Structure 1
Amino acid sequence: MDTALFSPSSLFRCSDDDEEEDPTTFVERFHAFPGGMELLVREFSFHQLNANMLWPGTFAFSEWLLQNQACFEGKRILELGSGTGALAIFLKKLLAVDITTSDFDDLEIEENLAYNCAANGLEILPHIRHSWGDPFPVLNPDWEIILASDILLYVKQYPNLIKTLCFLLRSNNLKDNTRGKEIHLPYPVFLMSWRRRLGKEDEALFFNGCEDAALAWEHLGSRVYCISPRRDTI
């Protein structure tokens, strides 16, 4: 796995804190989510795959999902790069959707996801261990919506992520558009929230890669992007 551009744990360090982080320790705290929801989330103090904390995109995306919840009611949903599982837990509690989490093949991530589900009064959500670019464990995916927030940190992983997206989006028959209050989505669809931390040139590599793979993308506002197969390739 590539080394991240920076460690998110550094965002919470004091300048004079030079002690090495213990990868087995946790921080457990309440987070305020849109709609008056409060979630108790256990986060790693440090995790080598950066699955340790809630990134800014989680909260911004949650607000967008709340505003457009009609698009998600009754849909089967898969989240990529679930990390702590907070976004999936938010959606499950908000709409009781059928949602599956996924992340890198790492037991600690899976166990922490299960812990956070239980801490918020949920049964453990279905979880898939998967490294982007590898054969997907589900041969015939039928998720209508694939979600992710702030997963573009590893630039060298973009081709693998796009390969996985192509499989998930093209192995499922497209269905009729469903209109929410202001948007309509072609199912299956990948919805991604990305709060910029990269240079524009690096960020553009992902969207250019999508175009090269015949995936169309559209900015829906609030740094939320809709990605789906180009119609002329279906």
Structure 2
Amino acid sequence: MICAADEDDPFPVDDCLFAETFSKESVYDLMGEQLRIRQVFGANLGVAAPVWEAALHLCHYLEDQSVPLRGRRVIELGSGTGVVGILAARLGAEVTLTDLPLALPQLQANVLANMPTSGWPSSPPTVLPLSWGEDHMKFPSDWDLVLCADIIYLPETYPLLVETLGHLCKNGAVVYLSSKMRKEHGTPGFYEKYLPRRFNVELVHHDDKQNNNIYRASVRADQ
């Protein structure tokens, strides 16, 4: 196989990290904003590559409930393509998008591709690596909102995620988590067993067709 890189391509494949790579760009009209999101599929990115339905559910929920975003400090965990966090930034939030290092090139490219022609209404979104339970202490705890879309699918990460959320939210941040409720991955157990250990958890939306739930959580007073 011969790998070639286009100098104008933000996702060069000349390092031959995987044998097959292809990308797809989709346009999403959300909350009055049009986002162009590129998804890069290959063995390396895995679940970070696509726009998951849970992310779109969360965007629609934020709109339907008129959750205020302008001027608020927002961090997104497991951002993937960045559709949720980029939308929040387009609407005036001060946003930090996080994921594992391998996902950051795709994430950064989507941020750059979606800068409004008049510039970001607040500050440009920040893209940073974050491994739950390992380097979360490098991040502050003064957020207003923590956003999470379809990140509950690996049971071994559940305690690490709760630890990370506990740090990020200890000064009062509210968490919104949108999840496809995959029983085979123990997703319901995260919300029934793990998260309530440190958080008050409320189911605020259920989509029966997609089997998708949205939860709102805040740190318990006894923590």
Q: TM-score, normalised to structure 2's length?
A: 0.77
Partner of 2:52: 55
Partner residue in 2 for 1:162: 162
> Which structure ranks higher in relative contact order (CA pairs < 8 Å, sequence separation ≥ 6)?
1
Match of 2:178 in 1: 193
Task: Report the alpha carbon displacement of residue 203 of structure 1 after superposing the two structures with TM.
Answer: 2.0
Secondary structure class of the residue paired with 1:62: helix
TM-superposed deviation, 1:114: 1.6
4+ runs deviating over 6 angstroms? none
Work out the percentage of aligned pairs sharing the same amino acid.
25
| CA–CA distance in structure 2, aligned partners of residues 82 and 126 of structure 1 | 12
Alpha-carbon distance between aligned partners in 2 of 1:143 and 1:23, rounded to the nearest angstrom: 40
Residues 82, 206 of structure 1: CA spacing in aligned structure 2 closer, same or farther, 3 A cutoff?
same
Shift of 1:169: 1.4
CA distance in 2, matches of 1:24, 1:190: 36
Which residue of 1 is the match for residue 37 of structure 2? 41
> What is the CA–CA distance in structure 2 between the aligned matches of 1:70 and 1:211, rounded to whole Å?
23
Aligned length: 193
What does residue 75 of structure 1 align with? Answer: 72
- Corresponding position of 2:105: 111
Kept in 2, the 8 Å contact 1:84–1:112? The answer is yes
My pick for the range that moved more, 57-66 or 34-43, is 34-43
Does the Cα contact within 8 Å between 1:33 and 1:62 map onto a contact in 2? no
- Which whole-Å deviations, capped at 9, do the CAs of 1:18-60 have from their partners, x for residues lacking one? xxx9467341322323345332111121234511110111111
- Deviation at residue 98 of structure 1 after TM alignment: 0.6
Q: CA deviation at 1:140?
A: 3.4
Deviates more, 1:121-130 or 1:147-156: 121-130
Q: TM-score, normalised by structure 1?
A: 0.74
**Partners in 2 of 1:23 and 1:38 — Cα distance?**
32
Aligned to 1:138: 138
